[in-house]
Amino acid sequence: MAGQSCPICGKPTDRGTKPFCSKRCADIDLGRWLDGRYRVPTDEAPGPGEAPDDNDD
């Protein structure tokens, strides 16, 4: 499967570390996963894709 991109940084996936571009991004993703699993969400900012954006129309 070609054309995949790293879910962390968007760079082309490396077949040795897919679906990430590098071991580093794989570690980042793992860290996020563990973070979300073991930490209780408090009043932190919402996840990615929920950035507040005032649309003054």
Q: Is 6 in the site for Zn ion (CB under 5 A)?
A: yes
Q: Is 21 in the site for Zn ion (CB under 5 A)?
A: yes
Distance of closest approach, residue 4 Cβ to Zn ion, in angstroms: 11
Distance of closest approach, residue 53 Cβ to Zn ion, in angstroms: 25
Residue 38 in 3-state DSSP? helix
Distance of closest approach, residue 55 Cβ to Zn ion, in angstroms: 30
23-45: b (≥16 Cβ within 10 Å) or e: eebbebeeeeeeeeeeeeeeeee
Q: Is 9 in the site for Zn ion (CB under 5 A)?
A: yes
